[in-house]
Amino acid sequence: HALRTAEKALLPGYHPFEWKPPLKNVSSNTEVGIIDGLSGLQHLVDDYPVDTIAKRFRYDAALASALMDMEEDIIEGLKSQGLDDYVKGPFTVVIKESCDGMGDVSEKHGCGPPVPEKAVRFSFTLMSITIAHGNEEIKVFEENKPNSELCCKPLCLMLADESDHETLTAILSPLVAEREAMKDSVLALDMAGIPRLFKFIFRGTGYDEKLVREVEGLEASGSSYICTLCDATRLEASQNLILHSVTRNHVENLERYEVWRSNPYHETVDELRDRVKGVS
């Protein structure tokens, strides 16, 4: 019990915080620890049903906890830049999101519950923290080893295949909704006895091509549409090695998927595929 109590201080859900304005569709209760990825219910660690396929932290609670872990780094950063260590901010925090399959996690001779035997992990890394001072942005913290396992904070662990679109969507949708809500709000968090304000910028740079194609509704990597950023086909790309620009975006992919699904112009499969450029 002593270990559990000590552990709680290190896990999300321990430090009180507040959002200004409050997050849309997210509870204002900050005492949320590990929750079930599908039901959203919180159990004691020992009480989880054996067939649970996903566990996660609430995104905002995890960010608050990660910042509290870095309290000393932030205060040191302020001092090293010649700033007062009692400034309230607002600080701007850049978050790198990552999500990847972890491969086969099956027990070789186990007789556990019938859950999927592959796992997917969604995590985030605090890349940098800056504060506006006069007309310039001063960097208080920067992660030196952004790809290291040591600074990567796990947010959600799923027993699912990364190509199982429905399961991934069901588990990650609430998490994405929490992230979208945080973009329009400011986190108020007591640090070193002073209430400080934090704004977040999210960068989805930790996804491999397979997952990008999966979540954007693009055809798999063998597709003749070889790029996840533009509409180039394999042939077009081989003939033009210089002039490239980013033309695909998430909203357009959603619109194209709707066209693919409803086929409003009553086209053949080939005509339709050419219209939506490999979204399906």
For residue 42, give the DSSP letter.
B
Burial of 147 (0-12, 13-18, 19+ CB in 10 A): exposed
Block residue for tokens 């709707």: 258
Query: How many angstroms separate the CA atoms of 128 and 3, rounded?
Result: 32
- Calpha distance 144→142 (Å, rounded): 6
Cα 121 to Cα 158: distance, rounded to the nearest angstrom: 6
Closest by alpha carbon to 272, among 258, 256, 260? Answer: 260
Amino acid 164: pLDDT: 84
Q: Could you report how far apart the first and last alpha carbons of the chain are, in Å? A: 51
Residue of 28, 34, 33, 35 lying closest to 13 (CA atoms): 33
Q: Could you say which DSSP state residue 14 is in?
A: S
pLDDT of residue 52: 82
Q: How far apart are CA 223 and CA 231, in angstroms?
A: 12
Tokens of 276: 């939506």
| pLDDT reported for residue 110 | 65
Distance CA 90, CA 129 (A): 10
Q: How open is the CA angle 87-91-97, to the nearest 5 degrees?
A: 150
Residues whose CB is less than 8 angstroms from the CB of residue 99 and which lie 6 or more positions away in sequence, other chains included: 120, 121, 122, 123, 172, 206, 207, 211
> If you count DSSP H runs as helices and E runs as strands, how many of each does the chain have, helices first?
8, 9
Mean pLDDT by 10 residues, the chain (280 residues): 72 86 89 82 68 88 94 93 87 93 76 76 94 90 88 91 86 91 94 93 88 88 90 89 84 93 93 92
pLDDT at 142: 93
Among residues 226, 243, 244, the alpha carbon closest in space to that of 235 is found at: 226
Classify 48 as helix, strand or coil.
coil
Q: 73 to each of 70, 157, 269, how far by Cα in Å?
A: 5, 28, 56
Structural tokens at position 101:
């399959």
pLDDT of 96 = 95
Reported residue count of the chain is: 280
Amino acid (one-letter) located at 142? E
Task: Give whole-number Cα distances, 66 to 59, 79, 220, in Å.
Answer: 11, 20, 35
Residue 134 confidence (pLDDT): 82
Q: Which residue has the tokens 């600080």?
A: 91
pTM: 0.85
- Tell me, what's the pLDDT at 113? 67
